[in-house]
Amino acid sequence: MKKKIDPTLFELCLGIVLYGIVFQLVLLLAARKISYSVGLWIGVALAVAGAVHMWWSLNRGLDLAAKGAEKTVGANSLIRYFVLVVIMIGLVYTDFANPIFAFCGYMGMKVSAYLNPLMHRINMKVFKI
């Protein structure tokens, strides 16, 4: 049985990826350091993973009683932010990627949430999900 993806989650992830593409194009014009691009796409990947994890934990929490839901959603939020902090600290102490641009990529989740009406129109016209 084929499950359909949640349209809101799809639109949020689509917005995050489109934000990453636009930011990458600007980054290519401004600076050509590979560590900036790697940091950006690490942030975009973290944002998509965070959005999927948030959707999963909220769906799971809504099936529980009020007290259990509060604990589950709170614990999952802590896990999500702990992973983000650990990865950012790892980027700060290595020269693998730029942590500032990783943070900028992660902020794609916020930008995508604000641009959700636009993503909804794109989804309805192009993907029809």
pLDDT band at 84 (very low <50, low <70, confident <90, very high): very high
What's the pTM value of the predicted model, to 2 decimals?
0.88
CA 64 to chain centre: 25
The rounded mean pLDDT for the chain is 90
pLDDT band at 2 (very low <50, low <70, confident <90, very high): low
The b-or-e profile of 60-98 (16+ CB within 10 A means b, else e) is: ebeeeeeeebeebbeebeeebeeebeebbeebeeeeebb
pLDDT band at 1 (very low <50, low <70, confident <90, very high): very low
pLDDT band at 129 (very low <50, low <70, confident <90, very high): low
Stretch 12-25: mean pLDDT: 94
HSE (side-chain half, CA atoms, 13 Å) at 96? 11
| Nearest by Cα to 101 from 56, 37, 54, 11 | 37
Task: Please give the C-alpha separations between residue 47 and each of 1, 52, 83, 99, 104, in angstroms, as whole numbers.
Answer: 28, 9, 12, 14, 10
Question: pLDDT tens for residues 104-123?
Answer: 999 999 999 999 988 888 88
Contact 39, 98 (CB under 8 A): yes
Contact 80, 54 (CB under 8 A): yes
Contact 15, 112 (CB under 8 A): yes
Question: pLDDT tens for residues 23-36?
Answer: 999 998 988 889 99
Question: pLDDT tens for residues 44-57?
Answer: 999 999 999 999 99
